[in-house]
Structure 1
């Protein structure tokens, strides 16, 4: 197939960026784009130092990126080529003549304990992998097992003299001594050209594994060989006394759904989903309603480029003159359909979370690149819209937008866009209450104590009013909303009741009753799902316990132009859609936090273990189609659900109790019984990289400064610790 020629993307021909890897080393990032006749393709970068690296698969006209750390200073001619899924390839094109000044040694080589092979694959001396194919061996594989769980930073595939290199590659890993193998999506490469003597480097981004293997679906001439070199270490980013299997699953849950570093990104961008069947984990969405979730996941990390991007997204978020926060850069409406009242509270919460971690001194004075308005002024306008236009200053937020009146003719007004929430919404008021508390901090950080006190007082009023108005004492749970005609709507919304506990709107007694319903200790007659049915999917609660099509019409379900209908004969039976008896994974973050607050760390840990056990089966790559309408969308985990990455954050924000502010990093450990220690590395607070350890044996705070500038901070696990920011300065 003819290629249409390479194009460098603007300044991206060769760009040197500061990249902080697991060891704190520096490197360069390169980018290129090539039109390849409409096919999915990936790029191979030859760095000119005897190594090459493939990128993620991308769609036509999208950019491929590759990072590299040079082992020696000097000038290197970096070139790239593209390989399509059908095997066609472009010629090489020079991308950059790069001068490496900052260099680093590669990660240490890991020494395996044993080998694993089959279907025509075999291994020699725990290093050389040989493959042969035939009718009896359609997928030859060979690899290595380690004596325990290891952090895999990169694989190096070295050609074997006198042998052909495999013409198709797939990388797999295990967490259970080889019983269950998972494919690493980024390296399900398909056709791979002979590297012509170069070492192929496959960055693995800290994958936690007990073994890795190479699968070869196709072999040139029926035989091939390579040398496998695994590099990394024994220390994982997240480590605790939960055991090897727990630690491995926890770290990989973050790697798949948090950083999504080993996923396929068809647009070359971890901020956008890939199409089915290649959909997987996604880092974030640049969308207002997702902004707090993005801040939860990105603000603390060493993903510098992504964190800076989040800062720009928050700075330049579009707003109407009245202070309404747009859904996205493209339109004020969610999916060009309807305005969502929670955009403003979530935007404020995102600003609060981002600045709490970064503590950037000039953050609130930064100006919108398009309007010149400062971030602080935008935050205040966003809150003023809630207070004045949505009547929040009266003690309860009311959704006054036309078409969002909560009736059967109304439209959705929040993330759960299958439901016609509107007018007086419990969901919206949960987030409004939380945003008032966040705004109080923001005002105090900016020297306005009087405004902060007003926000705190109003938050207390909202909690009281919402807690009374939306509470159904007979059922012991919050309803969803009250429409403009005064009708109360309750479908057993777990996505209302669980965040009500997690965000602190529910009282202790209300929280207790809600939790007894969720855990099946208390049955509510008339519900479609009861008892154990609420956790039918194991990794998350169903969103509603009453079928959206229960009873007689009208239904308060947004059917999106008749595509998703409920009721007798409808296309969405109960259990047939993520919002009607299905499940969306992110809710489990709030569920874990709610259990921690209401029942303590042991109860929360039991559910966390259940989630991780499900992850160990298939990495939760579940996307079943409804038997009723043939459409996917019963389970919301992969693809358009970047908020799935919130769930592993329970380890940081819940069990370790990390609670940053610009003045201090507060640590309030809630370790389960049987745990003496929990640690997290790669934490970035106020510009300092830290490894934080909560230790029951520690009697006082210990801060060790390492040669690379990072900090090792040990805190007692039996009390709250406030580490002042100035104590962390060089």
Structure 2
């Protein structure tokens, strides 16, 4: 079950903990260039954060992480000189561990730093819930537990790189504080998990610089639950100067209310990049337990190979990109082309094989290559004499087409352990269910992999093979709608087992992925949305009508309880279902609960079938929920299990949902001929854009504009800016030329 996925990560991500610890020699960098290094772990058994003396009068902080690991530090300087950098780890109990200093020689011309936002207005709160008042200093209190705040307002949304704090010359610096922000002028404040500190050391005259990772805000504040004691015995938060560094340029730009723009960008920062989160080993590829669990960057298992590519292929995150390109070479592949779920493992947690791995691997690597067009990636090998990535992809496709009978138009899992019966085992990400034999989930993935492989082969000049895959995809689509459609219930079933029995529990994820990938026929796609929206009631279902979206952020995973049918099709390998059981309907993510990522396919389905208006109504409901608490929700059931909502921790796929902006509204998708752009601008918006999208080794700023008739480009800040009409379809070629499709 999802509850145990971190065990897989122990094998998958062990390499992360062993990299980037460098020898402590003098290193030379240029002004503005990043110096990246990883100090030796302090060895504490506690969680620690680092306060890094940069040698230039500033003290830079990190998020918390396990003391047995260490953060990857990335520093730059604006002025030439020699800087001695000293990292210090601070444990939650207050112990300080000093690492050996490193010296950096910085050469070249001075560069401009990110500017401090000059028109911010200072404010304070005397108590946590008290009104905001002008000026930086809260009133002194006689209580050491008077929660106090001091902050800055902005008259617009700004994206913050960092918050800088100077100690007051006459008062102590707060040892216990956190940074919070708002997007609505103070109605709702959110903590920044990476900016929570206890036992903070005396800055000793240095400026404290706290990274905020481009969070989009209208206000930012420092909150302390225990103000320092003043000389007169009272307690108050007293800071010197407070500066916010950043600008107005959020990654996602849109002609929408300021709060919507901020929330959409922050949804990506929290669940896409996960930069402002706490991670167990200072890595976004590693989860953290409560109370620190939050967003993650990715998971190194084969099952996440496509989702990781969707999140990272277009970014300039070099460390994460390098990890992805390394980890995908380690997935085991047998002589037939079947792939394991993780390095050295063909079985998920020792339980079952996942027969969707070939399709996911193909789709992920094809997307990665078509976005970056780096042939060296396809030529990578796990070692001397090993096959290249491209050869492995082709073997994986051969396994699907030949060994799994995909050539017939329907993929069939022949493994007796995964026969789709009530005695079979799970075979995909949704490992609570006995998907097997002829699985709708696996066939939808197969269809998608055929399309991606066709695009890849076409891009490589193999048009004959590409057309063969396209032809097979058309057959798969036809057979999918014949075999898996239930006329009685008006939706796709989960699987047909080896004995010919049909298993249908109202799987929203099966149906929405079928619609989003295009394997569903137009008629069936519309019927699926009618069912999920409650416009059509399926008799006998446990959840019907508006209850299907009971959790608002996504539809329930299934609308018919696993325990409603006996013998159950639920795979009881970790928990049982039924009244009072830990897996009872509505109290477990895979049995009446939700996993957030499904909303990405929901949004893309609505866009495909009903248009942008219907998709935006769903997205607005999601953003409304996000605005309440950033979706930092992990409720328990009556057994103490927190697997009711799948959002935080080992769910990096939550970061797919904000990507609807990129893949849906902007309509960006790598294709054989170039980057395909198919805009779907909401009726209320006049423009939408992304300020940094990496394609074919170059970075672009792309902006869709209503009313524009011709595309236009300009060069600024080291990248090409394209302004593109909202009407029509466009192709950005690998050499940077944009033209209408059909011209």
TM range (shorter): over 0.9
Contact 2:124 2:137 in 1 (8 A): no
Q: Identify the residue that residue 28 of structure 1 maps to in structure 2.
A: 35
Q: The residue matched to 1:32 in structure 2 has which SS?
A: coil
CA distance in 1, matches of 2:737, 2:82: 37
Contact 2:136 2:151 in 1 (8 A): no
Q: State yes or no: 1:262 paired with 2:276.
A: yes
Pick one of 706, 709, 716 that aligns with 2:718: 709
For 1:368-389, what per-residue CA distance to the aligned partner results, in whole angstroms no more than 9, with x for missing partners?
Answer: 3465321110110111111122
Pick one of 601, 604, 610 that aligns with 1:599: 610
Q: Which moved more, 1:125-134 or 1:457-466?
A: 125-134
Q: Identify the residue that residue 186 of structure 2 maps to in structure 1.
A: 178
- Superposed counterparts of 1:203-222, under 5 Å: 203-221=211-229, 222=235
Q: Identify the residue that residue 262 of structure 2 maps to in structure 1.
A: 248
Q: Once the 2 structures are TM-superposed, how far is the Cα of residue 673 of structure 1 from its aligned partner?
A: 1.1
Distance 1:386 1:180, change over 3 A: same
Q: Once the 2 structures are TM-superposed, how far is the Cα of residue 459 of structure 1 from its aligned partner?
A: 0.9
For 1:122-176, what per-residue CA distance to the aligned partner results, in whole angstroms no more than 9, with x for missing partners?
Answer: 9999785567454375321111211121111111111221221111120000011
CA distance in 2, matches of 1:15, 1:542: 56
Q: Which moved more, 1:121-130 or 1:300-309?
A: 121-130
CA distance in 2, matches of 1:569, 1:258: 36
Q: Identify the residue that residue 629 of structure 2 maps to in structure 1.
A: 618
Q: Identify the residue that residue 3 of structure 1 maps to in structure 2.
A: none
Contact 2:505 2:558 in 1 (8 A): yes
Q: Which moved more, 1:388-397 or 1:431-440?
A: 388-397
Distance 1:335 1:8, change over 3 A: closer
Pick one of 716, 722, 728 that aligns with 2:731: 722
- Superposed counterparts of 1:630-649, under 5 Å: 630-649=640-659
Calculate the TM-score normalised by the size of structure 2: 0.92
For 1:514-542, what per-residue CA distance to the aligned partner results, in whole angstroms no more than 9, with x for missing partners?
Answer: 11101111111100000101100001110
Pick one of 526, 540, 555 that aligns with 2:568: 555
Q: Which moved more, 1:148-157 or 1:617-626?
A: 148-157
CA distance in 2, matches of 1:529, 1:461: 34
Q: Identify the residue that residue 315 of structure 2 maps to in structure 1.
A: 301
Q: State yes or no: 1:519 paired with 2:529.
A: no
Q: Identify the residue that residue 589 of structure 1 maps to in structure 2.
A: 600
Q: Which moved more, 1:56-65 or 1:486-495?
A: 56-65
CA distance in 1, matches of 2:678, 2:106: 46
CA distance in 1, matches of 2:414, 2:27: 49
Contact 2:542 2:560 in 1 (8 A): yes
- Superposed counterparts of 1:179-194, under 5 Å: 179-194=187-202
CA distance in 1, matches of 2:730, 2:47: 51
CA RMSD of aligned residues (A): 2.4
Q: The residue matched to 1:549 in structure 2 has which SS?
A: helix
Distance 1:278 1:133, change over 3 A: farther
Contact 1:678 1:693 in 2 (8 A): yes
CA distance in 1, matches of 2:344, 2:228: 48
Q: Once the 2 structures are TM-superposed, how far is the Cα of residue 18 of structure 1 from its aligned partner?
A: 10
Q: Which moved more, 1:389-398 or 1:629-638?
A: 389-398
Q: The residue matched to 1:252 in structure 2 has which SS?
A: helix
Q: State yes or no: 1:420 paired with 2:434.
A: yes
Ranges in structure 2 where 5+ consecutive residues have no aligned partner? 1-17, 230-234, 739-743
- Superposed counterparts of 1:33-52, under 5 Å: 33-52=40-59
CA distance in 1, matches of 2:320, 2:626: 25
Distance 1:370 1:406, change over 3 A: farther
Pick one of 424, 445, 448 that aligns with 1:431: 445
Pick one of 278, 302, 312 that aligns with 2:326: 312
Q: State yes or no: 1:694 paired with 2:704.
A: yes
Q: Identify the residue that residue 9 of structure 2 maps to in structure 1.
A: none
CA distance in 1, matches of 2:254, 2:436: 43
Ranges in structure 1 where 5+ consecutive residues have no aligned partner? 1-6
Q: State yes or no: 1:79 paired with 2:89.
A: no
Q: Which moved more, 1:342-351 or 1:135-144?
A: 135-144
Contact 2:79 2:106 in 1 (8 A): no
Q: Identify the residue that residue 608 of structure 1 maps to in structure 2.
A: 619
Distance 1:268 1:114, change over 3 A: closer
Contact 1:316 1:370 in 2 (8 A): no
For 1:259-278, what per-residue CA distance to the aligned partner results, in whole angstroms no more than 9, with x for missing partners?
Answer: 00000012111011111221
Q: Identify the residue that residue 145 of structure 1 maps to in structure 2.
A: 153
CA distance in 1, matches of 2:731, 2:61: 44
Contact 2:42 2:70 in 1 (8 A): no
Contact 2:183 2:216 in 1 (8 A): yes
Distance 1:414 1:691, change over 3 A: same
For 1:654-690, what per-residue CA distance to the aligned partner results, in whole angstroms no more than 9, with x for missing partners?
Answer: 0110122364222110112121110111111112111
Q: Which moved more, 1:60-69 or 1:46-55?
A: 60-69
Distance 1:140 1:548, change over 3 A: same
Distance 1:323 1:622, change over 3 A: same
Distance 1:190 1:369, change over 3 A: farther
Q: Identify the residue that residue 545 of structure 2 maps to in structure 1.
A: 531
Query: What is the number of equivalent residue pairs in this alignment?
Result: 714
Calculate the TM-score normalised by the size of structure 1: 0.94
CA distance in 1, matches of 2:561, 2:422: 16
CA distance in 1, matches of 2:461, 2:491: 39
Q: State yes or no: 1:484 paired with 2:498.
A: yes
Q: Once the 2 structures are TM-superposed, how far is the Cα of residue 65 of structure 1 from its aligned partner?
A: 2.3
CA distance in 2, matches of 1:48, 1:324: 53
Q: The residue matched to 1:443 in structure 2 has which SS?
A: helix
Distance 1:370 1:292, change over 3 A: farther
Q: Identify the residue that residue 4 of structure 1 maps to in structure 2.
A: none
Q: The residue matched to 2:407 in structure 1 has which SS?
A: helix
Q: Which moved more, 1:113-122 or 1:474-483?
A: 113-122
Q: The residue matched to 1:372 in structure 2 has which SS?
A: coil
Distance 1:79 1:365, change over 3 A: same
CA distance in 2, matches of 1:16, 1:428: 51
Q: Once the 2 structures are TM-superposed, how far is the Cα of residue 451 of structure 1 from its aligned partner?
A: 1.4
CA distance in 1, matches of 2:572, 2:327: 31
Pick one of 109, 123, 126 that aligns with 1:115: 123
For 1:437-459, what per-residue CA distance to the aligned partner results, in whole angstroms no more than 9, with x for missing partners?
Answer: 11111222222222112111111
Q: Identify the residue that residue 673 of structure 1 maps to in structure 2.
A: 683
Contact 2:121 2:152 in 1 (8 A): yes
CA distance in 2, matches of 1:17, 1:464: 61
Distance 1:12 1:396, change over 3 A: farther
CA distance in 2, matches of 1:350, 1:52: 40
Q: The residue matched to 2:38 in structure 1 has which SS?
A: strand
